[in-house]
Amino acid sequence: MPSAKGPPQTADELRTAILDSYEDLSKRLQQIARYVLDEPNAVALETLAVIGERAGVQPSAIVRFAKAIGFESASQMQKVIRDGLIAGSAVLGYSERVRQFSENARSGGGPADVLAEFVEGNVLALNNLRELVEADDLRAAVDLIAEAETVYVVGFRRSLPVSSYLAYSLQQLNKRTIFVDGVGGLTRQQIQAIRAGDLLIDVSFHPYADETIQAVQHAAAHDAKVLSISDSLVSPTAKPATLALQVKEAEIRKFRSLAATMCLVQAIVISYAFESSQSAQKPPRKTVGGKRR
């Protein structure tokens, strides 16, 4: 819904406005909202015809979306996004660079050529990850793990390698962790004991596994906190989350990588490990007469 204060004036305000109004939008406008959040470079720099083609909607729908957010026109929305990209020029053109790389990638070639393509695509994704994830969000993610009584980790399909690594790493650090693998169709049973004070970490990408969505909903309904690692801030797993971290992976020859997601998870786990060891090394406070000093 349009704000009484007028249209968003900055890219951050636009992002907040989209997230706040997302549930009130029609399915078609939600489709555009997701594209605007996930591909701001394209929205800022391309024509409405190109944006519509890539988002799978008519250009007129983009105009309706802009007005639903509070703008008078789509061009006004594009200017706000463009100004934000210029202010944060380190990530300017990421999506366009990925598209150019995909277009220029060799259609044939041997294994060495394929390796070169995957390396270059993943380098782009990793450089973008450094700019996409805020330092405060990383700090919050580590704190959520440290404060949780029990950590549940869920992730199916393409997310399984990341979620299994995350669960394994936390268990190695002696953090009480339950890996929800859903073997035998037991996802519901594996997560049924989650409660307030616990944390669910989900890793999910489009198309989102029903088991992961249900696990997130179950955790939220039982007052547990949720840390979502996903490809969109408006995914069905990110929206109910206490904290959502967005990852944009490289796609090479129609194959999507996991390099950036694994890098993010490793950074979180190692940060938690370092802080846990630092806390354990602190000497206990002395007591005098039964009272701590």
54 in a structural domain: yes
Looking at residue 268, what is its pLDDT?
Answer: 96
Residue 272 backbone zone (phi > 0: left; psi -120 to 50: alpha; other: beta)? alpha
Looking at residue 138, what is its pLDDT?
Answer: 94
Quote the domain boundaries for residue 32: 11-89
Does residue 160 sit in the same domain as residue 270? yes
62 in a structural domain: yes
Residues 46-57: pLDDT tens digits? Answer: 899 999 999 999
Tell me which of 51, 66, 89 is where a domain ends: 89
Does residue 259 sit in the same domain as residue 141? yes
Q: pTM of this prediction?
A: 0.74
Does residue 192 sit in the same domain as residue 72? no
Looking at residue 10, what is its pLDDT?
Answer: 87
Does residue 42 sit in the same domain as residue 175? no
Does residue 229 sit in the same domain as residue 151? yes
Sequence-ordered list of residues with C-beta below 8 angstroms from that of 137, at least 6 positions apart, any chain: 243, 245
98 in a structural domain: no
Looking at residue 226, what is its pLDDT?
Answer: 97
CATH number, domain of 257, equals 3.40.50.10490
Report how far residue 232's alpha carbon sits from residue 201's, in angstroms, rounded to the nearest whole number: 15
CATH number, domain of 64, equals 1.10.10.10
293 in a structural domain: no
109 in a structural domain: no
Query: Crossing angle of helices 59-69/48-55, nearest 10°?
Result: 100
Q: What does each C-alpha distance from 46 to 31, 64, 234 come to in angstroms? A: 17, 17, 22
Q: How many domains does the chain have?
A: 2
Residues 6-32: pLDDT tens digits? Answer: 788 888 888 889 988 888 999 999 999
Does residue 139 sit in the same domain as residue 275? yes
Looking at residue 242, what is its pLDDT?
Answer: 96
Kindly report the backbone phi and psi dihedral angles of residue 177, in degrees, each rounded to the nearest multiple of 5, phi listed first: -135, 135
Helix/strand/coil (H, E, C) string of the chain? CCCCCCCCCCHHHHHHHHHHHHHHCCHHHHHHHHHHHHCHHHHHHCCHHHHHHHHCCCHHHHHHHHHHHCCCCHHHHHHHHHHHHHHCHHHCCHHHHHHHHHHHCCCCCCHHHHHHHHHHHHHHHHHHHHHHCCHHHHHHHHHHHHHCCCEEEECCHHHHHHHHHHHHHHHHCCCCEEEECCHHHCHHHHHCCCCCCCEEEEEECCCCCHHHHHHHHHHHHCCCEEEEEECCCCCCCCCCCCEEEECCCCEECCEECCHHHHHHHHHHHHHHHHHHHHHHHCCCCCEECCEEC
Does residue 40 sit in the same domain as residue 171? no
Does residue 71 sit in the same domain as residue 141? no
Does residue 139 sit in the same domain as residue 66? no
Looking at residue 90, what is its pLDDT?
Answer: 43
Does residue 165 sit in the same domain as residue 247? yes
Task: Give the chain's residues under pLDDT 50.
Answer: 89-92, 290, 292-293
Does residue 15 sit in the same domain as residue 153? no
245 in a structural domain: yes
Does residue 242 sit in the same domain as residue 160? yes
19 in a structural domain: yes
Residue type, 227: L
244 in a structural domain: yes
